[in-house]
Amino acid sequence: MHAMPKDIIVSVEHVFKSYRRGSQTVPVLEDITLAIGRGEYLALMGPSGSGKSTLLNLIAGLDRPNSGAIMVEGVDITSLQESDLAHWRAGSVGFIFQFYNLIPVLTAFENVELPLLLTRLSKRERREHVLTALSLVDLADRMDHYPRQLSGGQQQRVAIARAVVTDPALLVADEPTGDLDRKSAAAVLDLMDQLNQELGKTIILVTHDPSAAKRARRLQFLDKGVLSDAPQDTL
């Protein structure tokens, strides 16, 4: 473990990432360095294919860089073994995806409970945590519903409850409003504002939607694998 200033939660240092396509190497991220403060709300924009999801997945420990270091809460996640990384992810990061990724055969309650099955909590404690998370997203009354019985906006709110049920400091959201109508999108963005402002969650939001990016308090722009402060006229 390295010492890091207390207020920096994510530190990306000289990260390079490429993918292999047949015999070719396709560079995706080139020398990315980025520090994110605890409690920050950062939006990441940029053209399709510029590497936004790739960077988000690296920070969340879903993928590994070719070189460079990624420190999250003082842990160099690039040096963790696969099983340690999975364990770290489960307790440290909440994920919000464009298409919710709920399990169709599980109820809202069971979907939100899933991340807790990896913990030592008792059944009763799990139930309390799940109900707290579902109340936060205002869906406690729908806990016995299956995903297909819920609207897209409601499914995304269940996914947000699942993301926060283990109380991670960091939330990563990849196009969380990409599949929603304006009204449901606004409700999801309001909820993310609340998680940031009231619960102090650090949020990294990847989006194409300027009205979503406006909610963040800092904007970074990725183009052809290179990161920069967003130009003034981006939004």
Ligand X SMILES: Nc1ncnc2c1ncn2[C@@H]1O[C@H](COP(=O)(O)OP(=O)(O)OP(=O)(O)O)[C@@H](O)[C@H]1O
Residue ranges binding ligand X (CB under 6 A):
19, 28, 46, 48-54
Strand partners, 167: none
CB 170 within 8 A of CB 72: yes
Which residue, 19 or 138, is less far from ligand X as judged by CB? 19
Which residue, 54 or 92, is less far from ligand X as judged by CB? 54
Which residue, 28 or 161, is less far from ligand X as judged by CB? 28
Strand partners, 93: 170
CB 97, min distance to ligand X, A = 11
Helices first, then strands: H and E counts in the chain: 7, 10
CB 76, min distance to ligand X, A = 22
- Dihedral angle computed from the Cα positions of residues 203, 208, 211 and 214, in that order, rounded to the nearest 10 degrees: 40
CB 88, min distance to ligand X, A = 21
CB 33, min distance to ligand X, A = 17
Chain center to CA of 22: 30
Which residue, 28 or 204, is less far from ligand X as judged by CB? 28
* Cα–Cα distance, 81 to 72 (Å, whole number): 15
Which residue, 48 or 122, is less far from ligand X as judged by CB? 48
Looking up tokens 């360095």, which residue turns up?
33
CB 183, min distance to ligand X, A = 24
Q: What is the DSSP letter of 106?
A: S
Which residue, 5 or 22, is less far from ligand X as judged by CB? 22
Helices (H), the chain: 52-59, 82-92, 108-113, 123-136, 152-164, 182-197, 210-213
CB 173, min distance to ligand X, A = 13
Which residue, 51 or 115, is less far from ligand X as judged by CB? 51
Angstrom CA distances, 49 to 40, 97, 99, 181, 223, stand at 25, 17, 18, 24, 9
- 52-76 burial string, b = 16+ CB within 10 Å, else e? bbbbbbbbbbbebbeebbbbbbebe
CB 101, min distance to ligand X, A = 15
